Structures are given as C-alpha cells and as structure tokens.
Amino acid sequence: MHILTIIWTLLCAAVIIGYPIYLINKSNTMIKSHHKLYRPSTPNTVELLSFDIREQLPGWSFTLDVPQITETILRNNPILFYLESEDSCLKLPLNNAAMGYKVNVYKNVGKVYVTFKSIKDGVSNFYVPTWHLKKLKVLIIKSKDKRVYGDWEAGSKRSSIHKNLKNSGININDYEDVLGYFSNITTIDFKGHFIAKMPDKKFKFGSKLIENGHNELCHSA
C-alpha cells in the first residue's frame, strides 16, 4: 500500500512539474511557427523611376533626388541607370564617341549624380546641349529571382547581374531589352515620372561643386 502511495505521489509530482514545461515548450514552438509563417517575403519587383532632365541642361552635370535609394538599397541591391537621348536609351556609364563625351554616374543615399566629361582627356567638363538628352531612367533591382540576380544565398556580388543577363542573351546596355526581360520574370513597379527642376543650390562632391536639383512629380502610377 505504501509503495502504491509513493508511486502515485511521484506520478502527481511529475505531472505538476512537467505540464508547465510542456506548455512553455509548446508556446515557444507556436511562436516560432508564427514567425516563419508571417515573415515578410522579399518583394519580387524591379522599381522603375523616370526623370525628365531637360530643364537641367545645358550643363556638364546634374543631380537628382531619389529617396527610393535608401542606405539598405545602396548596400544590398543593384541599381541600373539608363540615359535616354533622341535615338537611344543606353546604360551608364557610357562613352559617346559621336558627341565627344563620356558619362559617369554616382549614387548615394537619396541622391544620384551624373557628370559629362570630354572624351579627349576625360577631365574637361563637357556641356551637353538641351536638345540632345531627354530622360534618366533608374531600375532598382529588388527581385531575388536567380534569373535576374544569380544565387543570393551563395553571396553573389552586384556584378553578377551583368553575368546573368549576358548568359540569358540580354544586352544590358539596351534599356528596352533589359526591361522586357525583367517584365517576364518580376513585377515592374513604376514609381512615377519626375521633372528634374533647375538647381538652385550648390554643394561639394569630391573636389567639384555639384548643384542640388529638385524633382517635381509629373506622373505616378
């Protein structure tokens, strides 16, 4: 009888001690499952922005406000820039031998800087006429589709996007070619068409003075 009492007491003690532990473990498992279920997914998108730059010309440089380029985007996502002229829309940087200039593009948090230099020495400023250029188009690659950006889990570098597009038979220098390829894989998120107003302030960028422009929303999807 005493043995049965002792066994019953031990069973009760095990239940009293073990049941709360079971509830705690079950709660932790449910929380982890909830986090996995509702973990925000990486957007399968390519953001497209278009800037009318004609009001900033003639000139040898222009600056754009692009708030979509956050510190996280700048650090982790490829960004492609395309300059539209009368007869083409080509990727930056580029050399225009026919006109005699080369174009460089620089990006920072919330800003894009574009400069034009003489192709002869690469140093002298080249003043682009108003009639020659129309727009700057920006593609921010947020998609992690391997057909766009390779294997992100393998730690691909930003330059891998060039390799993947080339392997897919896409000319990365051709805006229409690239946009058509992306649209078949991801969602093109059009953020709007902006008019880049004539700058009214100047600030230093490296050893040069770059003028600060303002963008006016012209059309938004």
Q: What is the DSSP string of 104-126?
A: EEEEETTEEEEEEEETTTS-SB-
- Mean predicted confidence (pLDDT) in 29-51: 67
Q: Is it the case that residue 218 has pLDDT exceeding 70?
A: no
What integer pLDDT is reported at residue 12 of this predicted model? 64
Q: Are residues 75 and 161 in the same domain?
A: yes
> Is 79 in the same domain as 136?
yes
* pLDDT: which is higher, 21 or 181: 181
Same domain for 161 and 53, yes or no, is: yes
Whether residues 136 and 166 fall in one domain: yes
- Rounded Cα distance, 217 and 2, in Å: 87
Q: How far is CA 92 from CA 88, 107, 184, 185, 206, in A?
A: 12, 12, 23, 23, 20
pLDDT of residue 214: 53
Q: Does 154 or 133 have the greater pLDDT score? A: 133
Q: 28 with 131, same domain?
A: no
- Residue 55 has phi, psi (to 5 degrees) of -75, -10
Structurally, the chain folds into a number of domains equal to 2
Task: Give the long-range contacts of residues 23-26, CB within 8 A, separation 24 or more.
Answer: none
Give the per-residue pLDDT at 157.
47
- What's the rounded Cα separation, in Å, for the pair 137 and 134? 10
Query: Is 32 a residue whose pLDDT tops 90?
Result: no
Are residues 35 and 121 both part of a single domain? Answer: no
Which helix (H) or strand (E) segment holds residue 30: the answer is helix 2-38
Per-residue model confidence (pLDDT) at position 150: 57
pLDDT band of 14, cuts 50, 70, 90? low
72, 32: one domain = no
Residues 184 and 105 both lie in one domain: yes
What does the pLDDT average to over 165-184?
92
In this predicted model, which residue has the larger pLDDT, 216 or 90? 90
The better pLDDT of the pair 112, 41 is held by: 112
Tell whether 206 and 188 lie within a shared domain.
yes
Same domain, 35 and 55: no
- Please indicate, yes or no, whether residues 68 and 10 belong to a single structural domain of this protein: no
58: left (phi over 0), alpha (psi -120 to 50) or beta: beta
The boundaries of the domain holding residue 31 are 1-39
- φ, ψ for residue 90 (rounded to 5)? -115, 155
Q: What percentage of the chain has pLDDT greater than the value 70?
A: 66
Same-domain check for residues 131 and 187: yes
pLDDT-derived band of residue 161, with 50, 70 and 90 as boundaries? Answer: confident
